Amino acid sequence: MAGAASARPIEPIDSRQEILVRDELERVCEDKLFRDTTRMKRFLRFVVEETLAGRGNRLKGYVIGVEVFDRPDNFDPQADTIVRVQAGQLRRRLDLYYAGDGAASPVRILIPKGRYAPTFELRQSLEVNETIDPTSMLGDVSDKTKDPRPSLAVMSLDDLSSSETKSGDYFVDGLTAEIVNALVQFRSIRVVTLTPSVSTTLAQKSVREIGKDIGADFVLSGSVRRDGDVFRVTVSLIRCESSEHLLSRVFDREYKPGSLFNLQEEIASYTAAAIAAPYGAVNRYNRRNKSGRQKSMAAYDCVLRYYDMKLSPKRQVAEKLLDDVESVTKHHPEFSMGWAIHALLNNFLATQIHFVEEASVRLLEADRSARRALKVDSQNSLGYFALYQSFFHRGKFEDANQMICRTMSLNSNDYSVLAYYAACLASRGDFETASKMATAALRLIGRAPTWYHVPHMMVDFAHGKYENVTGLINQNLDESSYSFYLMGLAAKCHIGEIDQVRSILADIIDKEPSYADKASAALQLWHLHPDLARPVYEGLLLAGLDINALKSSI
């Protein structure tokens, strides 16, 4: 990957930048995703040229329908949705292009949702106090013969509706493209389809033949059926070599013409997460069967163990894994994921605090490792996420916000990112956004680890719903973090279980006399909002534990 790490909008455009945009337009139109789509290329050329000419404000549905799709003068874009549907297809193809062959393009042409005028972004280096060396980027990741990731082919969904209820190819094709678009956000797998779906010729072959013909390890297929006011969408994931069904999901949704695009996005996001996320079907299969390991089995093993550890984080497991990751990165310094995991493990251990001075040391080490990961691969979302954690826990909230935005732009479906981000938002008092993020994470993962419920616990705690909080104390939350465990103990005090909490704390302090100092240091890392700090402090004080760090936050 030869490009830089991030992008900035070009506005207004000077003559040099206009040349760059026109060069990029030609590259896009010659790409395999656009080469044979005459109308799609015409659509893209028209909106780009109009915008470069300063007429972007006239790019409305009517104008595009008449100029691009040859509709008559009485064209009604509300009745005829061709422009809106094709704009959605165009956005998805651009997303696919920039996730693949166009990843290193110096300029990106983007069409934001809700408008037809494109924006142009000039790629630039990541600005986080250290310049990333573009010469250290991976150069052969796109080489399919060397790419160690499992590969997935997406087949066009079949429309099984009756002739009276068929919604038209636009919905089925659009949903297929949305699924592909959502899948390419996950960099742990490789989507091998060269167009938004597997060709009809391939669709007539067996799953094993498809895998052999196009080099796919897995195939995703499915169907759409409309019955009255209900849509039923079925998707299945199959392992090519064994024809084993690894995943099957059925979505029943109410048919509402005005919400079909939201429906497509909802189903696509869930499907992609269920397949390609760290705990998704592909990674679960590989962990179970030990498949997919390449030249460095130790490196691959560390990645799988890290994802397993995140289900139930424990200090001792993290420390052992950190030692192994350090060995791997020593022998494979260009292993970007290894450096990212090294950073994330240091961030996690910082919140566990073995001794009070440890947190700052580990957070700085996490910062260094995350930057090393991004020097190797500027598109490593976990590298940005590790920087986000390091910045947040050190109180550098503006820098942290930049990093979480970059993380989400690379992969908006990583539910562990959503859950952690939600916990950080809740700790800072943004309870509404925290609830939305946490709900999205839980919806994507299905059966979630206990710590995914922490953001909702924090919101309930701030709103005085202490009974909702205490239940998590009995689900091994004490093994996750001093901070969240203390919040649960404070909730117990608020509902009258003071003697029980005193007994718990007495046992802990007997084994660990410096517990109060460590707890104080741990709570400082989360920068609790007064609406959280006050009830935590008051609750623990009822049990005789005075946390100094909370006093300054009240």
Query: Which pLDDT does position 466 carry in this prediction?
Result: 92
Residue 326 lies in a domain: no
> Using one digit for the tens of pLDDT, what is the confidence trace for 438-471?
988 887 776 778 788 889 989 999 999 998 888 7
Q: Which of 277, 302, 326 is the last residue of a domain?
A: 277
**Cβ(245)–Cβ(181) below 8 Å:** no
Say which residue, 40 or 137, is predicted with more confidence. Answer: 40
Q: Which of 222, 250, 277 is the last residue of a domain?
A: 277
> Using one digit for the tens of pLDDT, what is the confidence trace for 504-534?
899 888 888 888 888 888 888 999 999 999 9
**Cβ(219)–Cβ(240) below 8 Å:** yes
CA distance 251 to 256: 15
Return the CATH number at 207. 3.40.50.10610
Q: Are residues 183 and 89 in the same domain?
A: no
Residue 284 lies in a domain: no
Say which residue, 275 or 5, is predicted with more confidence. Answer: 275
> Using one digit for the tens of pLDDT, what is the confidence trace for 84-118?
889 988 988 888 888 777 877 778 898 988 889 98
Residue of 315, 333, 261, 331 whose CA lies nearest to 114: 261
Helix or strand (DSSP H, E) at 7: strand 6-9
Contacts with 205 (C-beta within 8 Å, 6 or more apart), sequence order = 213
Beta strand 218-227 with 190-191: parallel, antiparallel or unpaired?
unpaired
User: Is pTM, for the whole model, over 0.75?
Assistant: no
Share of the chain above pLDDT 70, in %: 82
> Using one digit for the tens of pLDDT, what is the confidence trace for 210-252?
788 777 889 998 888 888 788 889 999 999 888 888 888 898 8
Query: Which pLDDT does position 426 carry in this prediction?
Result: 96
Q: What is the mean pLDDT of residues 501-505?
A: 91
Beta strands in 182-217 (DSSP E): 190-191
Contacts with 321 (C-beta within 8 Å, 6 or more apart), sequence order = 302, 305, 306, 309, 341, 345
Q: Are residues 77 and 202 in the same domain?
A: no
Q: Are residues 117 and 163 in the same domain?
A: no
CA distance 8 to 6: 7
Cα 38–chain centre separation: 33
The tokens 């718990």 sit on which residue?
504
Say which residue, 375 or 137, is predicted with more confidence. Answer: 375
Query: Which pLDDT does position 294 carry in this prediction?
Result: 46
The token duo for 551 is 């006093």
Say which residue, 107 or 427, is predicted with more confidence. Answer: 427
- Region class of 333: left (phi > 0), else alpha (psi between -120 and 50), else beta: alpha
Residue 397 lies in a domain: no
Q: Which domain holds residue 493?
A: 413-551
To the nearest whole number, what is the mean pLDDT of the chain?
80
Q: Are residues 105 and 158 in the same domain?
A: no
Residue of 479, 484, 430 whose CA lies nearest to 459: 430
Q: Are residues 547 and 420 in the same domain?
A: yes
Domain count, the chain: 3
Q: Which of 105, 124, 143 is the last residue of a domain?
A: 124
Residue 198 lies in a domain: yes
CA distance 122 to 107: 5
Q: Are residues 85 and 178 in the same domain?
A: no
Residue 380 lies in a domain: no
Residue 140 lies in a domain: no
**Cβ(407)–Cβ(388) below 8 Å:** yes
Lowest pLDDT segment from 6-15, 159-168, 312-321: 6-15
Residue 379 lies in a domain: no
Q: Are residues 447 and 520 in the same domain?
A: yes
Helices 381-393, 358-376: axis angle to 10 degrees equals: 150
Q: Are residues 419 and 483 in the same domain?
A: yes
Q: Are residues 120 and 155 in the same domain?
A: no
Q: Compute the C-alpha angle 484/429/383, nearest 5°.
A: 70
Sign of the torsion formed by the C-alpha atoms of 539, 543, 545 and 546: positive
Say yes or no to pLDDT of 382 above 60. Answer: yes
CA distance 59 to 114: 12
Q: Are residues 188 and 103 in the same domain?
A: no
Lowest pLDDT segment from 98-107, 157-166, 497-506: 157-166
Q: Are residues 534 and 451 in the same domain?
A: yes
Q: Are residues 159 and 119 in the same domain?
A: no
Q: What is the dihedral of CA 317, 318, 322, 328, to 10 degrees?
A: 60
Residue 253 lies in a domain: yes
